[in-house]
Amino acid sequence: MASGNLGQELDLTLLALQLKGAEYDPQSFPGLVFRLKDPKTATLLFHSGKLVCTGARTIEQVKSAIEIVGESIKEAGVPIKASTTFEVQNIVASSDLGNPVNLTSVVISLGLDRVEYEPEVFPGLVYRMSDPKVVFLIFGSGKLVCTGARKPEDIEISIDKLKEELRKADLLH
């Protein structure tokens, strides 16, 4: 997910009428949703001129999506005064540890202060790593989701660190 700012207020009602495929229902959500097929993304536009782009798989796709959205807004008759800048806020990645893990044992080895596990409520374990600052959802199958990273290398570092912690506790081979 990346966020940016167009540097000016937007008339979302006008944009909703002008942008093909735009969705805007201010009664249920204050932003306009503008979906692109290529790159497959959804951009949320707000009255303040702020935007949030989700669904991109690379930084290049984020740049491309924001450029297309900016051009579409200009084509809709809304001049944009500033060049759009953006900042990556959150990277989500999935991975597989390669074999099943005993989540109850993981809770004990990773420490109760950093782990949430309530199997009656949710089948995965939530593990908050402090450095890099990410959050893992770990499932008994060995599959996991990592979220909260701002750089791709943080994903790699945190997964390697998690694997090492699990190996040290003899929970991963």
pLDDT tens figures, 133-153: 999 999 999 999 999 999 989
Same domain, 100 and 120: yes
> Is the residue at 55 inside a domain?
yes
CATH assignment at residue 107: 3.30.310.10
Please report the pLDDT score of residue 116 as a whole number. 96
Give a yes or no: residue 18 inside a domain. yes
The answer to whether residues 80 and 100 belong to one domain is no
Q: Where is pLDDT greater, at 158 or 2? A: 158
pLDDT of residue 82: 63
pLDDT for 33 equals 96
Could you give the number of structural domains in the chain? 2
151-172 confidence digits (pLDDT tens): 989 999 999 999 999 999 999 8
The sheet that has 134-139: what strands, in order across it?
91-96, 143-149, 134-139, 124-129, 115-116
Domain hosting residue 57, numbered range: 2-88
Residue 6 lies in a domain: yes
Portion of the chain with pLDDT greater than 70, in percent: 98
* The domain boundary residue, chosen from 88, 105, 120: 88
Taking only the tens place, the pLDDT of each residue in 30-88 is 999 999 999 999 999 999 989 999 999 988 999 999 889 988 998 988 888 666 778 88
Q: Answer with the one of 66, 88, 110 that is the final residue of a domain.
A: 88
Tell me whether residue 173 is in a domain.
no
76/67 Cα distance (integer angstroms): 14
Alpha-carbon distances, residue 150 vs 2, 60, 132 (angstroms): 9, 15, 10
> Per-residue pLDDT tens for 104-128?
999 998 888 999 999 999 999 999 9
pLDDT at 16 over 80: yes
pLDDT at 9 over 90: no
Structural contact between residues 35 and 42, judged by C-beta atoms closer than 8 angstroms = yes
Residues 79, 103: one domain? no
Do 104 and 71 share a structural domain?
A: no
